[in-house]
Chain A
Amino acid sequence: MAEAAIPAPARRPVLAGRVKAALVLFGLFAALPPVAAAAGDPFLVLIATRILAYAIAAMALDLILGFGAMVSFGHAAYLGFGAYAVAILASFGITDIFVQIACAAGVSALFALVTGAISLRTRGVYFIMITLAFGQMAFFFFISLSAYGGDDGVGLRSRSTLFGTDLLENDVTLFYVTLAVLAALFLACHRIVGSRFGRVLTGIRENPVRMEAIGFTPFRYQLTAFVISGMMTSVAGVMLANQAEFVSPAFMSWHRSGELIVMVVLGGIGTLAGAIGGAVAALVLEEALGMMTEHWPFWFGLFLVLMVLFSPRGITGFVEKLGRRRP
């Protein structure tokens, strides 16, 4: 066979390495609850659940930012849709997490489809600004939603139910369910990136003119990716609402959108596993620096500047460089 003669593609090991990195991260997370229990600090599990939820969102953003070169500055809106899906449905007595996720994803898909179709008419800075504007519109919509606390938000009477049980009331169970969701969505993203669709999306990032000249219409593929990313981010919102047992428009402010971009950049753009690492690093640093000094944003900013200067490909680039130095 002709294919047998072709040497294996050189980029394979890099991809496999990133899957391995993600598996290591998942393994470390899985070991956390017993460690936290032994250390007598059960609160750690709740913090870690929050990190996992943001990791889902950062990874979903990386799918379009890293692989599609679409810098969405309004992604916190989808976190909000997920979170409010939990609160609003619960107020009608619908607490099943699968129904909540389906509604969150449905609303997000619609919002992403409409705002994405408009935003994708623009490029570069204009794309960033217009996604920011749509994100802010969603933010102010929920601020004006006085039935659900408006600006103050609303507490959840209980967490979502899983198969009709209240298993998620247990912090450790919620943690593992969130970890499972992250792992499943990582697998999905990984497959998407390696699929026909993923290759087209990455091709558009590399050279849209070339893609048109071989017969692809970039818009369709970019919009589809934008919708997928929005839906995945809303799942993060569902988990976040359960973690906090509280929902407010603060989930969807533009600061949040910015933090998601920081996580992706910190982890290494276009790496998926890196986005997860970026979310962990950003939130752990925030917690750790926050305990040491009230001026933590300064030190965090300094760290970010140094990281971007000396390792533009983020934590992933840093780790891969170390790996190459010590074969």
Chain B
Amino acid sequence: MKLEIAHLSKSFGALKVTDDVSLAVAPGEIHAIIGPNGAGKTTLIAQLSGQLAPDAGRVILDGQDITGRSMAERVHMGLARSFQITQVLPGFTVLENVALAVQARRGSSFRFFARVAEEAALNRAALDALAEAGLDDRAHVVARALSHGEHRRLELAIALATGPRVLLLDEPLAGVGGEEADAFVARLKALKGRLTMVLIEHDMEAVFALADRVSVLVYGQVIATGAPDAVRSDPQVRAAYLGEEEESAA
């Protein structure tokens, strides 16, 4: 599924957080958006997912203008997101968190008597999504008891369980490091091709391991888009953003 962004703009007061952003994310592609803190990455995701309305511009999903659609409508059209700050239902079990996402697209939720916990089809689909996120062994733990890394995996499992064709991932690796991060990257890699993904991430190793193309966002503007290697060597990008990182890494 193709996602196009045309001349998207958003201001908070005098501050332009999204400044005439245009992007085309090809079907099956992993398109990474990188940029320094405060570049407007999360605000961009919020506009793509429908959480925030842009001041101008359009969001087009598979040729259909979805700019005015609600968040819930977009999810039903196959556009799902994960959150940078984990958003789960803390009092629900891991399985219930994910089964609810399955329920949202399977049948009516205006059913008042049958026990939802006994719906095998929901639980099975939820377990599949949990397996893909590597969390199926924790299915019956209450979400608030999970570790940070497990929370990140639950966040991914919930997004997958909505049955997306385009997945917006807002820093899925935030606060995750070492082997856990490697395993997470491997899981995202396994999803590659099946889903179109927009990936916001600070972990450059992960970005260059996963992304087909990279766009660099600085002060709300896309200053470069291209293959990871091309972007990495772009002098403008190095000056604005990557330079300092690579220097500090070296």
The listed residue (A2, A8, A210, A221) touching B109 by CB distance below 8 A is A221
The CA of A200 and the CA of B88, in the complex, are separated in Å by 13
The CA of A281 and the CA of B72, in the complex, are separated in Å by 43
- Specify which chain A residues have a CB less than 8 angstroms from the CB of B101 in the assembled complex: 214-215
Query: Judging by beta carbons under 8 Å apart, are A9 and B70 in contact?
Result: no
Question: Is B8 an interface residue when CB atoms closer than 8 A count as contact?
Answer: no
Query: Judging by beta carbons under 8 Å apart, are A216 and B109 in contact?
Result: yes
What 0/1 readout, one digit per residue, does chain A (195-210) give for beta carbons within 8 Å of chain B?
1111110110011011
CB distance from A63 to the nearest CB of B (A): 11
Question: Is B41 an interface residue when CB atoms closer than 8 A count as contact?
Answer: no
Query: Judging by beta carbons under 8 Å apart, are A11 and B116 in contact?
Result: no
Using known A-B contacts A10-B140, A206-B89, A212-B72, determine if residue A198 contacts B49 with beta carbons closer than 8 Å.
no
Bin the interface of chain A by size. 20 to 34
CB distance from B75 to the nearest CB of A (A): 4
Name the CB-closest residue of B to A192: B112
What 0/1 readout, one digit per residue, does chain A (276-307) give for beta carbons within 8 Å of chain B?
00000000000000000000000000000000
The CA of A191 and the CA of B116, in the complex, are separated in Å by 10
CB distance from A1 to the nearest CB of B (A): 8
Query: Judging by beta carbons under 8 Å apart, are A3 and B120 in contact?
Result: yes
- Specify which chain B residues have a CB less than 8 angstroms from the CB of A214 in the assembled complex: 75, 80, 100-101, 104, 158, 161-162
Question: Is A155 an interface residue when CB atoms closer than 8 A count as contact?
Answer: no
The CA of A213 and the CA of B87, in the complex, are separated in Å by 9
Name the CB-closest residue of A to B141: A10
Question: Is B31 an interface residue when CB atoms closer than 8 A count as contact?
Answer: no
**Stretch binding the partner chain, chosen from B91-99, B225-233, B237-245:** B91-99
- Specify which chain A residues have a CB less than 8 angstroms from the CB of B71 in the assembled complex: 212-213
The listed residue (A6, A7, A206) touching B92 by CB distance below 8 A is A206
CB distance from B93 to the nearest CB of A (A): 6
The CA of A192 and the CA of B120, in the complex, are separated in Å by 19
Question: Is A27 an interface residue when CB atoms closer than 8 A count as contact?
Answer: no
Query: Judging by beta carbons under 8 Å apart, are A191 and B89 in contact?
Result: no
Question: Is B110 an interface residue when CB atoms closer than 8 A count as contact?
Answer: yes
Query: Judging by beta carbons under 8 Å apart, are A199 and B96 in contact?
Result: yes
What 0/1 readout, one digit per residue, does chain B (116-127) give for beta carbons within 8 Å of chain A?
110110011001
The CA of A206 and the CA of B124, in the complex, are separated in Å by 23
The CA of A210 and the CA of B81, in the complex, are separated in Å by 10
The listed residue (A206, A213, A224) touching B75 by CB distance below 8 A is A213
Using known A-B contacts A3-B120, A3-B124, A7-B140, determine if residue A191 contacts B104 with beta carbons closer than 8 Å.
no
Query: Judging by beta carbons under 8 Å apart, are A210 and B72 in contact?
Result: no
Name the CB-closest residue of A to B75: A215
- Specify which chain A residues have a CB less than 8 angstroms from the CB of B113 in the assembled complex: 191-192, 195
Query: Judging by beta carbons under 8 Å apart, are A199 and B124 in contact?
Result: no
Query: Judging by beta carbons under 8 Å apart, are B115 and A224 in contact?
Result: no
The CA of A206 and the CA of B88, in the complex, are separated in Å by 8
Main secondary structure of the interface of A (DSSP, over half): helix
Question: Is A144 an interface residue when CB atoms closer than 8 A count as contact?
Answer: no
Question: Is A17 an interface residue when CB atoms closer than 8 A count as contact?
Answer: no
- Specify which chain B residues have a CB less than 8 angstroms from the CB of A6 in the assembled complex: 95, 123, 127, 139-140
Question: Is A34 an interface residue when CB atoms closer than 8 A count as contact?
Answer: no
- Specify which chain B residues have a CB less than 8 angstroms from the CB of A10 in the assembled complex: 93, 140, 142
- Specify which chain A residues have a CB less than 8 angstroms from the CB of B140 in the assembled complex: 6-10
- Specify which chain B residues have a CB less than 8 angstroms from the CB of A207 in the assembled complex: 87-90
The listed residue (B111, B124, B127, B162) touching A215 by CB distance below 8 A is B162
The listed residue (B70, B100, B116) touching A195 by CB distance below 8 A is B116
The listed residue (A195, A202, A209, A211) touching B112 by CB distance below 8 A is A195
- Specify which chain B residues have a CB less than 8 angstroms from the CB of A216 in the assembled complex: 72, 104, 109
CB distance from A95 to the nearest CB of B (A): 31
Query: Judging by beta carbons under 8 Å apart, are A195 and B114 in contact?
Result: yes
What 0/1 readout, one digit per residue, does chain A (90-126) give for beta carbons within 8 Å of chain B?
0000000000000000000000000000000000000
CB distance from B89 to the nearest CB of A (A): 4
Query: Judging by beta carbons under 8 Å apart, are B87 and A194 in contact?
Result: no
Interface centre among B107, B109, B117, B119 (most CB of A within 10 A): B109
Question: Is B202 an interface residue when CB atoms closer than 8 A count as contact?
Answer: no
What 0/1 readout, one digit per residue, does chain B (164-175) give for beta carbons within 8 Å of chain A?
000000000000
- Specify which chain B residues have a CB less than 8 angstroms from the CB of A158 in the assembled complex: none
Question: Is A173 an interface residue when CB atoms closer than 8 A count as contact?
Answer: no
Query: Judging by beta carbons under 8 Å apart, are A215 and B116 in contact?
Result: no
What 0/1 readout, one digit per residue, does chain A (2-36) give for beta carbons within 8 Å of chain B?
11001111110000000000000000000000000
The 3 residue pairs across chains A and B that have the minimum distance between CB atoms: A215-B75, A215-B104, A206-B89
> With A194-B116, A206-B91 given, can you name 11 additional A-B contacts, CB distance below 8 Å?
A3-B123, A6-B139, A7-B140, A198-B112, A200-B103, A202-B91, A203-B100, A206-B89, A213-B51, A214-B75, A221-B109
A sample of 11 cross-chain residue pairs with beta-carbon separation below 8 angstroms, ordered by A number, consists of A3-B123, A6-B95, A196-B107, A196-B119, A199-B96, A200-B103, A211-B100, A213-B75, A214-B162, A215-B75, A215-B105
